[in-house]
Amino acid sequence: MINNHKFVISLNAFLVLIILAVNAHSQAVNPLESDPRAARLGGSIFRAQCATCHGADAKGISTLDAPDLTMSWVERQLSEEEVFQTIREGIPGSIMPPHSFNDTEVWMLVSFLKSVAEVGTTNQIAGNSDRGARLFSSNCSRCHRVDGKGGSLGPELSNITGRRSQDALVRSIRNPSANITRLYKPISFITVGNESVQGTIKSEDAFSIQLMDSNQVLRGFSKLDLRELRREEQSLMPSFTESSLSDSDVNDLLSYLQSSRSP
């Protein structure tokens, strides 16, 4: 039996929202968009119903093939209505099932997902994009690709400002080792032929490793052929301190990236 004061309050808030959301079904726009309680209640539903596959932080669980929902909005450019329909109907042929939540509950989930979504920078970044292009060419383009030009050891950065906040990008430039994403984890080892190899791991099993080496060549190795295998904590990307890139330089760089086209 549930006889808990907190629960009763939550339920009351929930019922109020239901009443407010009468006739909310099948709308293209979230009718709860302006209600701050919707994201909070949606978060409760998410943790109870969705977190097993998508993770408590909605960032997905790669071993379950459950996607990072914080990136869905910008990477797949989904509308609120499309997110609503995906929750309601599921994804045929996948483990994502249809859900029988009522419309208000689905909109609460949409509100929650919107609240945790990675968002890009919408404001114009103050900087000199021409100078930023030169800085990018001299410091970044060996490993990063923009507008079809550059290297592939690091992530593609065309219009990255549309997918990441300015603060997050500055943190990545100043301290890239603080948060290295899954496909860019650094590794080093020596082969049976005494070749010293450094690169980023793309895949690994008990017997083999697949990586991109520092020359940006995709290579596979049997673990039997390797020694001194080290999983580095330092990113292959150097840290750009203020002595190497001033705040003004960084703004110029971000201004250039903002001017690039979406990949």
Residues that bind other proteins (CB under 8 A): 1-2, 4, 6-7, 44, 47-49, 51-53, 55-57, 61-66, 90, 93-98, 100, 204-207
Nearest distance from C-beta of residue 225 to other proteins, angstroms: 15
Best CA proximity match to 156, nearest among 63, 257, 48, 250: 257
Nearest distance from C-beta of residue 143 to other proteins, angstroms: 23
| Nearest CB to other proteins, comparing residues 25 and 47 | 47
Nearest distance from C-beta of residue 92 to other proteins, angstroms: 11
Nearest distance from C-beta of residue 101 to other proteins, angstroms: 8
Nearest distance from C-beta of residue 72 to other proteins, angstroms: 16
Which strands make up the sheet holding 218-222, listed edge to edge? 218-222, 208-213, 196-204, 186-191, 226-231
| Nearest CB to other proteins, comparing residues 64 and 192 | 64
Q: Which residues pair with 230 in a beta bridge?
A: 188
| Nearest CB to other proteins, comparing residues 44 and 262 | 44
Q: Which residues pair with 198 in a beta bridge?
A: 188
Nearest distance from C-beta of residue 90 to other proteins, angstroms: 8
Nearest distance from C-beta of residue 131 to other proteins, angstroms: 38
Residue 244 tokens, joined: 């190497």
State how far the alpha carbon of 230 is from the alpha carbons of 153, 192, 201, 226, in Å: 18, 15, 11, 11
- Asked if 177 and 234 touch (Cβ cutoff 8 Å), the reply is yes
**Which residues, 6+ apart, have CB-to-CB distance to 166 below 8 Å?**
121, 125, 254
| Nearest CB to other proteins, comparing residues 46 and 84 | 46
H-only helix segments in the chain: 5-20, 36-49, 51-54, 72-75, 80-89, 103-116, 129-139, 166-174, 247-259
| Nearest CB to other proteins, comparing residues 2 and 28 | 2
| Nearest CB to other proteins, comparing residues 145 and 185 | 185
Q: Is the dihedral of CA 150, 154, 160, 166 positive or negative?
A: negative
| Nearest CB to other proteins, comparing residues 62 and 77 | 62
Judged by DSSP in three states, 221 sits in strand
